[in-house]
Amino acid sequence: MANVTSFGRSVGGVTTALTAGTTQTAAGATLLTGAINTVTVVGTDNDGVILPAGRGQGDTILVANLDAAQDIKVWPNTGASINGGTATSAALVVGQQQVVEFTQIGTDGLSWLAVLGGVATPA
């Protein structure tokens, strides 16, 4: 069998100035529609956003929490999991001024791998 090299791909555009859903649940979370998403309005800690369904293996989604005071939760889409957590219900907490890159690693579109980092802010 030949060796195959594959790279992640971003599907979608840039979605800026998102407001996180206010229910602190997956059902009330704001759907992420871009490949790059910036959340700028978070009313309360653990307000949330949700990853989209139907992404292919290797697809990536970047989420930046640019709120300076509140954490957000990023929920997996229905039936999916993040970093092997419980399907649908295990959200990833992203602190204020942090960014996370999600890569779809499953061939069925249900397994997300998340890598968390910081956001450089101007002095």
Domains, the chain, ordered by start = 11-118 (2.60.120.640)
pLDDT at 1: 43
CA separation for the pair 21, 40 (Å, rounded): 12
pTM: 0.89
CA separation for the pair 32, 25 (Å, rounded): 15
pLDDT at 2: 53
CA separation for the pair 34, 18 (Å, rounded): 11
Q: Do strands 14-19 and 30-31 pair parallel, antiparallel, or not at all (unpaired)? A: unpaired
Cα 36–106–25 angle (5° rounding)? 60
pLDDT at 88: 87
* Number of alpha carbons in the 13 Å side-chain half-sphere of residue 29: 27
Q: Which residues of the chain have pLDDT under 70?
A: 1-9, 120-123
